[in-house]
Structure formats: structure tokens, C-alpha cells
């Protein structure tokens, strides 16, 4: 999470570095070390200096040993179809600089030592092979001598160890794909009674080649059976799986050194805490786009399919749609710059590389070489010039709707505001742009519209809202309270500050509800917790994620005064936040006043699923005055809710579906016997038919697509888009029930003046 402003790193004195053309890359001379304090009004950086020594002999011996082993294994294997990757000098320097920042200024202030190196080692292997289907235990044993050398690799600017491990991973993937292809020619016996463990994150590494082969035999057998049950014949199945393996190899070949560096750096950052991460240049750009909800481009949502960059969707108001010359399914095969620029062939490119060519300066010209959706591979191309414009990502912005709830002869209107994230265009705000994009500004506008539409209550839908700007969480809370503290922060020095809404008045003073689920995190939890602590609204849904930490983004290039991007950015935990009642959302999340069934096991998803999450704790409560007291009305609402859902078939069916999904997930086994699988499929279809196919968009099997055995990038685009449309139009059982709860509240408040006095803020009592 970002703080109210991005940290501004100010340099005093001089910093310079030189690069060696051969051997290890080292900081020559002096390197910046940082100290800073963060307060409500200012952030400051003081510069210290340090000098670092050459790599020790022990690390070099381990590294040389590992390199010799890899060379030997590779020589005994078939030639790699993908290039071997090597670290760059600037990456090693970025890793070292990141270590200086993280060691001194992270909230946990952890030393980069052998103990942390061991965690980095495990994280890196999880990143590469999380399901333990490529490496053998013998591979892990051979890597193990370097387990405690990754700290030295970072500090001595020698990143050959993680790159060498990655190159061995590439070889393992190729070996596995080659083995999988041999299985396609043999076929399978689906009368045998055996099972496949599809989630292997907690499994041990395969002990032998035979064990790994058997694991892949079951994996391929399951893929084959899924396609067979979907009605494909043997030839079609072989073709589909061979193409899938081709795509795996193609994807592997497109991984570059920047990707490997980011894998390794995030193995390091998440070893400190789950929410610290490293952004390379491209990842930093995407993060900025997600916060400001805008970019400069042509207004097309793209996807990679069969080595093409395919237009999935055209953005309303974007140059591509306004031109009238593009449609979903068209393939971009080339990109040129300027009216007379040469066309660069992008066939087979990574989609982010193609996107980088398409984006550019506002009002500049880009040439798009297009192969129409209906054309064959040798069809006629069209080169279409477009002028790049600023594209607003409105689909990710706040939206409103109204749900009408009937209660006898009364119809109540519940205004719903769906907020996917707490976004803010920081750059535009800092430049003084009066129309800068922000979640609070959008929600404020929507509230005014809902008031004009005479809604009786407002529901903030924060499901799947992973957070965003801390400032936005505070300001958004201010729309629903008069003024006062919203959240407390404790920094690494133990100093506590209180962040408050200072603007008097409320944008909405009527009944309020907040709908959350397990994926509601960070800023969502700050908002929901504040609303709950003030007694301002009813919290409905599942316990939230449990993220109680604050992150800020540090631009490493700005830190060392680089004129061009080189080192990337760190999103680093700088504080822990606490509720105004003194508790924290850390680990436990926000507990709803009225709970819905949860489809997620807290051991699999959420803060409590992380081994190195900060513990739950509490501090002194802030000085605040509750806006309302819901203690009397919540039990009444629970009773009405329980009675209604006990008779609501949609809610009961959804609860049954969630319970069934939880049972299946815990089993973590799937039969590879065709008769058993057909029986399971028939039972599933019968249950769907019984339920009338009334699925909720919150359920794990929402608008359940019949299993076609395909992966997402193998499906027909029209089919995918139709499925997405069906998902959006599916009945949202949880949203509807939340609206009914708020309607119940309005009814109770209208009948009981005492409840109204307790529940509603004084501004609402006329």
C-alpha cells in the first residue's frame, strides 16, 4: 500500500559508481545508505556511506562447483531449445542497492544473512516449481550447498547462482515436455483405479526419475481424460496436448533475464514479509497504471493466442474503437512508429513487448498491422494509423447500481457502489490537476447521483478489492463520518501516528452497509474497520484478508539520481496499521457483523496462510466518538437474515455448492478411472439441474462452465467472451441478500425511533 505520498528520496553529497567490464560487478567507492523517518507531514532521507569487500573464496568455490555441475548435466542432456540466461551488471547493482534499503529501512529491519538466504533459497525454488513437478530431490540436494550463499551473491553483486538454478529449471521443463510427448503415443488405460493429486504445493520433491515420470504420467492421463469426457477423439486429444506443450516451450523461450531477476528479487523481498516486492521497469509501469487507472495507447485489451497478439476487447472512447477499423478477434502482427515508420513484425512476441511498442506519447502516431479475425494465416494485412490518446480504465473504477427490494407492499431502493480498488493518480494530484482520478472523488459523485435517485440505503461492495492508496481509504471513510481519526500507524521505531478525516460533513448520512470477502484487503480493511468501529454501518460477508501493514514505493533510480530507468522500484513495508479501537486487522481481518458462507480456507488464502506474517497485536485506542450504536439492531437483523435464507433456495444451493467445493478441495485427489469420472460428472450435472443453474458470481463454480478439458488460452475467443457475459449476468446471491439486510434495517429504523437515534449519525436525524 502506498502512503499518502510516495516517499521522496533526497540525496545529499555525491554518489558515483563504476562498472567492471569483466568478472564481478562491484560498487566502486562509496554507496548510499539511507536513514529516514516517516511522519504525517514529511519524509526525509539522510545519506550515509559504506564500502563493500570482494566476494569471499567460500562463495566462489560453491558457485564454481554448481556451474561445473550444470555444464556437465547439460552436456549429457539434449541441447537446450531455449537460450541460457546470464545476469547483467545493472541487475546485480539493483539487488545490492535494494538490500541496502531493505536492511536499514524495512519495518522488520531484518539483516541479510545466512538465515535469510536460506528462506530466499526456498522462496526461489517455490517460484520456479511451486507444484514440485520439474525438480527432483537430487536437484535440490545439488543446489543446497548454495543455500546460505544468496546473501553474499547480493552483497557481492554476483547473481550467477539464481541464474544457474533457473537454467537448470529450463532444462527440467524441456525434459518433462519431451517425456509427456512420449506418453501421447502410448495412450492410457482408463479402467484402472488410481488417483491424481492435483495440488502438490505441500508435497515432497520427487525422490527419483521413476517417481517423477509416474507423476507426469498421471498428470497427462488426467489431461487426456478431461478432453475425452468433453467428447474429443484420440487424434484431437493428441493434437490439443501437443499444441499445449508447444506453447509451454514457446512461453519458456520468451522468459528473459529481467523476468529471472524479478523472480529472484521477489524471492528475497517476500522472505522479509509477504507484501514487500520488487518492480522492474515494466512491472513498475503496470503498477502505476493500476493506481491511476489510465494509460496512453490505442484503447484495446490484448491477449496472446497461438503466437498472435489478439484484440480481446475495444475500450469505449479509445482510438481503436473510434476508428471503426478494428474488432474483437483481429490479430496484431506488426507495429510501426510515426506516419512513415517501419513496421516491426511482432509475430511470436511476448504480449508485454508488443504492448510496449503500441503505447507511447500522447498524440503521437502508431501504425498497427492487422490480420482480420476471419482471415487465414496468409490473408491480407491492413496497416492502420492511430493517434495515441489517454485511455481511462473505467471498468476498474467505482460503479453504481440500484437493487429494489420488496417488503410486503413496500419497495425499498438500495444503492450499490462497487469499488474494485482504492486508486489515485498520484502524479496528476501532485501536479495540481483539479480533475485527477481518485476512488474518493468517483464515489462522492456516485453518492450524489444515488441521493437524487432517492435510495433508502447505500451498500459499499468491496469484495475482491485488494486495497491501494492509504490516503484514499482515509478520505473515503470521511464521506460517511463527520470527521475524526480513521486509522493508526506504527513505524519501525515504534512511533504511533493517527491519520484522520479532517473534512467536516458527510456525503451520505443514511443507513450504510459494507460487503466484504476474503479477498478484501489492506485499504478495504481500513475502511471497513473504521466504519465498524464508528458504528456507522453494518459489515456483511466473509472475514477479510487480514493484511495490516502499510507499504510505500521507493524509486531506486530517483534515489541514486539516475536520469534513465535502470534499477526499478521497491514496494516496501514501512508501518503497521491499527484500528481506531486499538486492535489490528493483521491475521484476523475484519470480522463481519453478519456472516456469509466462506468458500476459502484461511490456511490457503489470506494473511494467516503466510509463514512470515506479522503477529496480531494491539495498541491504545485513538480518541474518537462513535457515530452510532448498532449493538441492538444487529441481533434483530441476524434473526431476520437467518429466517429468510433458510427458505431461500438460491442461498441454500449456493451454500451447498460452497460446502461441496470445500470438501473436494480438501480431498486434493481426482480419480483417473473413466467410469468414476463420468459418474462424478453426471452427479454434478444433476445437482446443477436441481438447482436450476442458479449460481452466484461469488461462488467458486460460478455459472459453471462444462469442463471442456481446455486451458484458458486454448478456447475460442467468442466462447470465452460469451462465458464472461454469462458470469456478469448470473444472479449474485450474496449481493442480493446484503441488499435485503439493508432493506430490513431501513424497515426497523422506520418503525422504531429509538433504534434510529442509536444507529444513524446525528446529521441524519432531522
Residue 416, all three cell numbers: 450499490
The label of the residue with cell 520439474 reads 134
Q: Which of 547, 552, 557, 593 is catalytic?
A: 547
What's the rounded Cα separation, in Å, for the pair 260 and 267? 11
The label of the residue with cell 498472435 reads 308
Q: What is the DSSP string of 2-26?
A: B-SS-------S-------SSS---
Partners of 670 in the beta sheet?
196
Partners of 435 in the beta sheet?
none
Q: Give catalytic status of residue 533 as yes or no.
A: yes
Q: Give catalytic status of residue 547 as yes or no.
A: yes
Long-range (24+ apart) CB contacts under 8 A made by 756-760 are 758/628, 758/629, 758/630, 758/632, 758/633, 759/511, 759/535, 759/628, 759/629, 759/630, 759/633, 760/509, 760/510, 760/511, 760/628
Partners of 45 in the beta sheet?
36
The label of the residue with cell 540525496 reads 11
The label of the residue with cell 530517483 reads 558
What's the rounded Cα separation, in Å, for the pair 9 and 554? 8
What's the rounded Cα separation, in Å, for the pair 451 and 470? 27
What's the rounded Cα separation, in Å, for the pair 347 and 327? 19
CA distances from 173 to 6, 170, 382, 405 (A): 40, 5, 38, 55
SS (H, E, C) 63-115: HHHHHHHHHHHHHHCCCCCCCCCCCCHHHHHHHHHHHHHHHHHCCCCCCCCHH
Q: In which element (H, E) is residue 538 found?
A: strand 538-541
Q: Which of 533, 557, 593, 744 is catalytic?
A: 533
Compute how many other C-beta atoms are within 10 angstroms of the C-beta atom of residue 317.
Answer: 12
What's the rounded Cα separation, in Å, for the pair 707 and 700? 14
Strand 569-578, strand 549-555: pairing:
antiparallel
C-alpha 762 chain-centroid distance: 40
**Close Cβ partners of 470 (under 8 Å, ≥ 6 residues apart):** 1, 2, 3, 4, 487, 499, 523, 526, 550, 577
The C-alpha angle 117, 122, 128, rounded to 5 degrees, equals 125
What's the rounded Cα separation, in Å, for the pair 514 and 719? 34
What's the rounded Cα separation, in Å, for the pair 537 and 530? 9
What's the rounded Cα separation, in Å, for the pair 547 and 700? 23
**Close Cβ partners of 189 (under 8 Å, ≥ 6 residues apart):** none
Q: In which element (H, E) is residue 406 found?
A: strand 399-407
What's the rounded Cα separation, in Å, for the pair 464 and 519? 5
Residue 559, all three cell numbers: 534515489
Q: Give catalytic status of residue 247 as yes or no.
A: no
What's the rounded Cα separation, in Å, for the pair 344 and 367? 10
Q: In which element (H, E) is residue 755 found?
A: helix 753-759
What's the rounded Cα separation, in Å, for the pair 711 and 222? 13
Are 710 and 240 in contact by the 8 Å Cβ rule? The answer is yes
What's the rounded Cα separation, in Å, for the pair 138 and 186? 28
Phi-psi region of 363 (alpha: psi -120 to 50; beta: other; left: phi over 0): left
What's the rounded Cα separation, in Å, for the pair 320 and 538? 44
Residue 277, all three cell numbers: 516486492
Q: Which of 98, 418, 469, 522 is catalytic?
A: 522
User: Count of residues for the chain?
Assistant: 766
φ, ψ for residue 467, nearest 5 deg? 110, -150
What are the residue numbers of the active site?
Answer: 522, 533, 547
Amino acid at each position: 500500500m502506498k502512503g499518502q505520498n510516495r516517499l521522496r528520496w533526497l540525496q545529499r553529497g555525491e554518489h558515483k559508481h563504476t562498472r567492471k567490464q569483466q568478472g564481478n560487478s562491484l560498487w566502486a567507492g562509496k554507496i548510499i545508505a539511507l536513514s529516514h523517518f516517516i511522519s504525517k507531514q514529511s519524509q526525509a532521507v539522510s545519506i550515509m556511506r559504506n564500502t563493500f569487500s570482494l566476494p569471499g573464496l567460500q562463495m566462489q568455490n560453491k558457485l564454481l562447483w554448481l556451474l561445473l555441475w550444470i555444464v556437465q548435466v547439460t552436456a549429457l542432456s539434449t541441447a537446450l531449445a531455449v537460450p541460457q540466461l546470464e545476469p547483467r551488471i545493472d541487475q546485480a547493482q539493483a539487488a545490492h542497492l535494494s538490500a541496502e534499503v531493505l536492511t536499514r529501512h524495512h519495518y522488520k529491519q531484518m539483516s541479510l544473512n545466512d538465515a535469510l538466504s536460506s528462506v530466499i533459497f526456498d522462496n526461489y525454488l517455490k517460484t520456479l516449481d511451486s507444484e514440485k513437478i520439474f525438480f527432483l530431490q537430487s536437484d535440490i540436494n545439488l543446489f543446497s550447498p548454495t543455500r546460505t550463499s544468496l546473501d553474499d551473491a547480493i552483497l557481492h553483486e554476483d547473481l550467477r547462482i539464481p541464474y544457474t538454478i533457473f537454467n537448470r529449471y529450463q532444462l527440467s521443463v524441456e525434459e518433462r515436455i519431451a517425456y509427456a510427448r512420449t506418453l501421447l503415443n502410448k495412450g492410457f488405460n482408463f479402467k484402472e483405479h488410481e488417483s491424481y493429486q492435483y495440488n502438490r504445493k505441500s508435497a515432497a520433491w520427487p525422490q527419483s526419475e521413476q517417481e517423477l515420470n509416474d507423476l507426469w504420467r498421471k498428470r497427462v492421463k488426467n489431461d487426456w481424460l478431461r478432453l475425452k469426457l468433453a467428447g474429443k477423439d484420440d487424434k484431437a486429444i493428441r493434437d490439443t496436448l501437443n499444441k499445449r506443450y508447444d506453447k509451454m516451450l514457446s512461453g519458456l523461450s520468451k522468459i528473459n533475464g529481467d523476468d529471472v531477476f524479478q523472480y529472484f528479487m521477489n524471492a528475497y523481498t517476500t522472505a522479509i514479509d509477504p507484501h514487500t516486492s520488487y518492480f522492474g521497469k515494466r512491472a513498475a509501469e503496470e503498477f502505476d497504471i493500476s493506481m491511476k487507472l489510465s494509460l496512453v495507447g490505442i484503447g484495446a485489451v490484448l491477449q496472446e493466442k497461438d503466437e498472435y497478439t489478439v484484440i480481446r476487447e475495444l475500450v469505449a472512447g479509445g482510438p481503436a474503437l473510434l476508428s471503426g477499423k478494428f474488432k474483437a478477434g483481429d490479430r496484431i502482427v506488426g507495429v510501426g512508429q510515426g506516419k512513415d515508420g517501419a513496421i516491426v513484425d511482432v509475430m511470436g512476441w511476448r504480449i508485454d513487448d508488443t504492448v510496449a511498442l503500441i503505447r507511447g506519447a500522447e498524440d503521437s502516431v502508431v501504425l498497427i498491422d492487422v490480420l482480420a479475425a476471419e482471415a487465414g494465416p496468409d490473408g491480407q494485412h491492413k496497416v492502420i494509423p492511430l493517434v495515441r490518446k489517454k485511455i481511462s480504465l473505467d471498468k476498474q473504477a467505482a460503479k453504481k447500481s440500484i437493487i429494489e427490494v420488496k417488503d410486503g407492499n413496500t419497495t425499498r431502493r438500495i444503492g450499490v457502489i462497487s469499488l474494485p480498488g482504492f486508486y489515485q493518480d498520484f502524479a496528476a494530484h501532485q501536479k495540481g490537476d483539479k480533475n485527477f482520478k481518485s476512488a474518493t472523488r468517483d464515489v462522492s459523485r456516485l453518492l450524489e447521483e444515488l441521493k437524487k435517485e432517492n435510495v433508502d440505503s447505500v451498500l459499499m461492495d468491496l469484495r475482491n478489492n485488494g486495497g491501494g492508496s492509504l490516503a484514499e481509504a482515509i478520505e473515503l471513510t470521511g464521506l460517511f463520518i463527520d470527521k475524526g481519526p480513521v486509522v493508526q500507524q506504527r513505524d519501525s521505531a515504534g512511533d504511533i501516528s493517527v491519520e484522520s478525516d479532517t473534512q467536516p460533513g458527510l456525503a451520505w448520512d443514511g443507513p450504510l452497509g459494507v460487503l466484504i470477502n476474503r479477498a478484501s484487503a489492506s485499504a478495504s480493511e481500513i475502511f471497513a474497520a473504521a466504519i465498524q468501529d464508528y458504528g456507522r454501518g453494518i459489515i456483511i460477508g466473509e472475514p477479510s484478508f487480514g493484511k495490516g501493514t502499510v507499504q510505500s514505493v521507493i524509486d531506486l533510480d530517483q534515489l541514486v539520481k539516475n536520469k534513465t530507468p535502470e534499477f526499478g522500484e521497491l514496494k516496501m513495508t514501512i508501518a503497521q496499521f491499527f484500528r481506531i479501537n486499538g486492535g489490528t486487522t493483521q491475521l484476523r481481518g475484519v470480522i463481519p457483523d453478519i456472516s456469509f458462507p466462506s468458500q476459502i480456507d484461511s490456511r490457503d488464502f489470506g494473511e494467516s496462510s503466510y509463514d512470515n506474517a506479522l503477529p496480531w497485536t494491539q495498541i491504545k485506542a485513538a480518541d474518537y466518538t462513535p457515530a452510532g450504536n448498532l449493538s441492538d439492531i444487529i441481533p434483530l437483523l441476524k434473526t431476520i437474515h437467518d429466517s429468510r435464507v433458510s427458505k431461500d433456495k438460491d442461498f441454500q444451493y449456493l451454500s451447498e455448492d460452497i460446502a461441496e467445493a470445500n470438501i473436494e478441495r480438501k480431498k486434493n485427489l481426482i480419480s483417473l478411472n473413466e467410469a468414476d469420472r463420468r459418474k462424478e460428472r453426471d452427479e454434478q450435472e444433476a445437482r446443477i439441474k436441481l438447482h436450476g443453474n442458479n449460481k452466484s458470481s461469488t461462488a467458486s463454480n460460478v455459472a459453471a462452465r462444462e469442463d471442456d478439458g481446455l486451458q484458458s488460452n486454448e478456447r475460442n475467443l467468442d466462447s470465452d467472451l460469451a462465458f464472461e457475459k454469462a458470469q456478469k449476468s448470473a444472479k449474485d446471491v450474496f449481493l442480493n441478500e446484503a441488499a435485503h439486510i439493508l432493506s430490513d434495517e431501513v424497515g426497523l429504523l422506520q418503525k422504531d425511533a429509538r433504534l434510529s437515534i442509536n444507529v444513524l449519525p446525528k446529521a441524519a436525524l432531522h
